[in-house]
Structure 1
């Protein structure tokens, strides 16, 4: 395609997101009013209505794609001399979420959000070294970690800020409590590609899912914290609170 035509196309696309240099909320998003005593219920209904759009993201409100949710890096260093680094990370099956509890308090600028997922799939390139279940682990390659029956309880904390004379909600902290019923892993290329040892080691790990979860929980919590904070802060940093939640 000719470069000028390509640039014109990109500019036209940009104009659907911004009007006079200002981000605009798409008309298909139902806005909830601060004065509504059922505001939290309204927000939940809006999220449910938007669920089909969440997989690919909604660029107009800086909502990143959730299917999959991509992260550059996750790292873990445990007290058992276990080091795990994941890069090019993808969290899959997030669209299976169900919201069990939601409460937003505009006075304290806080949000409580409880969710559950039947399955979350973590994929990425790994580097692993250390000890787990008396196994001496060493390897690098591709890995898949399946987390089953995930229950996530989060609390977000924010503050009101001023930008260009308008008030925004800035969410900058997220506490995460996570419970996972079961898990299985597949680390390729352990022990310099020795397939027999790799298969045996993956088998031993999968026979002891709670040991895996105990070691990996800080990293797993960090990944969900990143998802929640990214989604919420991107949206609320893009629009004044009175535009997202009109009075």
Structure 2
């Protein structure tokens, strides 16, 4: 069996699994319960990864680089691993009747982000600089996800959906712990002062640095979702009449 046929069979077997009879697909465009079940089922498969389509898991999620280019603070995270997405609860799912946008809330009880960092500038009001290992552990986090759904014609001459134009609203609700090693070239007194400030002002610090991290994480998920949707024609899961 050649590689192309093997790939198509693996895609067919996977798609048959997603489009199983218990989902009652395709969903009518007005059948919100059916659409919601399809979104939740698909999200679960994306979080665990889809080897048949060479889609890596989203928990743990590996990101090669996160670039935080803020007005008074510049930071980069390298070889970053985020864990905890599987525990996030999806709610308030909204899909416009013409399937042009998707919105939902995530309530995440605990997330961990760790890797390597470079940082220079002001952390709210304190000067900060350093590079080395880092870890951020959050308490409860609320995230509102909103993106456009674009319909396009694929190489199979069928219509597909793709997510784009991502918008996020992120709200840290539980205390956040920070650990950045080797700040100020290892000067312990300066490093301890910054970390104490960060922990005493965890909400303000988190709101300062959070957006590039969350955008990188959710964008990575949407890229994987779009890769999956290239294999599933729109007509297989949504009908408009």
* TM-score, with length taken from structure 1: 0.80
> What secondary structure, in the 3-state scheme, does the structure 2 residue paired with 1:66 have?
coil
Given candidates 17, 22, 26, the residue that maps to 1:28 is 17
Given candidates 211, 219, 222, the residue that maps to 1:226 is 219
What's the RMSD between the two structures over aligned residues?
2.9
Q: Give me the whole-angstrom Cα distance separating, in 2, the residues matched to 1:51 and 1:232.
A: 8
Paired position in structure 1 for 2:177: 184
Q: Structure 1 regions of 5+ residues with no counterpart?
A: 1-7
Paired position in structure 2 for 1:97: 88
Q: Give me the whole-angstrom Cα distance separating, in 2, the residues matched to 1:156 and 1:34.
A: 21
CA contact (8 A) 2:78 2:115 kept: yes
Are residues 1:170 and 2:162 paired?
Answer: yes
Q: In 2 relative to 1, CA 177–194 (structure 1 residues): closer, same or farther, beyond 3 Å?
A: same
Q: In 2 relative to 1, CA 106–52 (structure 1 residues): closer, same or farther, beyond 3 Å?
A: closer
Are residues 1:85 and 2:76 paired?
Answer: yes
Q: Structure 2 regions of 5+ residues with no counterpart?
A: none
The structure, 1 or 2, with the larger RCO (C-alpha pairs under 8 Å, 6+ apart) is 2
> What secondary structure, in the 3-state scheme, does the structure 2 residue paired with 1:28 have?
helix
Q: Give me the whole-angstrom Cα distance separating, in 1, the residues matched to 2:87 and 2:62.
A: 17
Paired position in structure 2 for 1:64: 56
> What secondary structure, in the 3-state scheme, does the structure 2 residue paired with 1:67 have?
coil
* TM-score, with length taken from structure 2: 0.82
Q: Give me the whole-angstrom Cα distance separating, in 2, the residues matched to 1:46 and 1:168.
A: 15
Q: Give me the whole-angstrom Cα distance separating, in 2, the residues matched to 1:69 and 1:128.
A: 22
Mapping 1:75-224, distance limit 5 Å:
75-79=67-71, 81-105=72-96, 107-164=98-155, 165-181=157-173, 182-224=175-217
Across the two proteins, how many residue pairs are aligned to each other?
233
Q: Give me the whole-angstrom Cα distance separating, in 1, the residues matched to 2:139 and 2:76.
A: 21
> What secondary structure, in the 3-state scheme, does the structure 1 residue paired with 2:115 have?
strand
